[in-house]
Structure 1
């Protein structure tokens, strides 16, 4: 199977979309770090195509006092695989994450 031929304009447009998506994900994580938004608000926006691509572990590590070790421990307690993205979370997992971090 060969790759389809893509024009230079199509490549440039794809690069621009990818850069915009990376920037939006970075802004969401920064807003979580600074307290401008909550984990519950981000989880409620998981239907957004860009936010759905965020890894759960990366999102949790943006919370105050949550590093890699605590993020992985919480994910294990809530039965979330360590490579899961927001798109792949079930309603029970989302509810348990919100409950776990309701004070943050």
Structure 2
């Protein structure tokens, strides 16, 4: 499949959209770090583009007292691949994740 050719204006709009999503994702990670929002609340927002595109590993690493090793261990225990995004989680994996973290 050929990659579509974008005009300069389309590229600019795509870059703006990507920047906005990254900024919102950073805000969400900061809210997770401070405890202002819970993992369960984030997983209930699966209709949000910002949440759907976030990697599970980044979500876990954003939690207080959870580093890279702990996040990877949690994912391995549940059976989630390290490259998985939140939109790719099944309902059982989401439930197991919430149960493990609460």
1:53-92 to structure 2, matched below 5 A, reads: 53-92=53-92
Counterpart CA distance in 1 for 2:68 and 2:2 is: 40
1:6-85 to structure 2, matched below 5 A, reads: 6-85=6-85
Number of equivalenced pairs: 102
1:5 CA drift (Å): 3.0
1:2 CA drift (Å): 4.9
Counterpart CA distance in 2 for 1:32 and 1:87 is: 18
> CA 1:80/1:2 → structure 2, altered by over 3 Å: closer, same or farther?
closer
4-13 vs 58-67, which deviates more? 4-13
User: Gaps (5+ residues) in structure 1?
Assistant: none
2-11 vs 27-36, which deviates more? 2-11
Aligned-residue Cα RMSD (Å) equals 1.2
User: Gaps (5+ residues) in structure 2?
Assistant: none
Counterpart CA distance in 2 for 1:3 and 1:75 is: 34
